[in-house]
Amino acid sequence: MSHFEAIDPETVRLVQSSGPSETLLKLVFETFQALGDPTRLKILYALIKSEVCVRDLAILVGVSESAISHQLRILRDRRLVTQRRNGNIIYYSLNDGHLAVLFREAEYHADHVHQNIANHPYP
- pTM for the model stands at 0.83
Residue 15 lies in a domain: no
Q: Are 103 and 48 in contact (CB under 8 A)?
A: yes
Residue 123 lies in a domain: no
The three-state secondary structure class of 50 is coil
CATH code of 79's domain: 1.10.10.10
Residue 79 lies in a domain: yes
Residue 81 lies in a domain: yes
Q: For the chain, what is the domain count?
A: 1
Residue-level pLDDT at 70 = 97
The three-state secondary structure class of 123 is coil
pLDDT tens digits, residue range 60-114?
A: 999 999 999 999 999 999 999 999 999 999 999 999 999 999 999 999 989 989 8
Within 13 Å of residue 93, how many CA atoms lie on the same side as its CB? 9
Note the residue count of the chain: 123
Residue 72 lies in a domain: yes
Residue 51 lies in a domain: yes
Say how far apart CA 75 and CA 82 lie, in whole Å.
9
Say how far apart CA 67 and CA 61 lie, in whole Å.
10
Say how far apart CA 112 and CA 14 lie, in whole Å.
29
Residue-level pLDDT at 21 = 92
Give the domain extent around 85: 22-115
pLDDT surpassing 90 at residue 116: no
Residue 28 lies in a domain: yes
Average pLDDT, rounded, for the chain: 93
Residue-level pLDDT at 122 = 65
H helices of the chain, where?
9-18, 22-35, 38-49, 54-61, 65-77, 98-115
Residue 47 lies in a domain: yes
pLDDT surpassing 80 at residue 23: yes
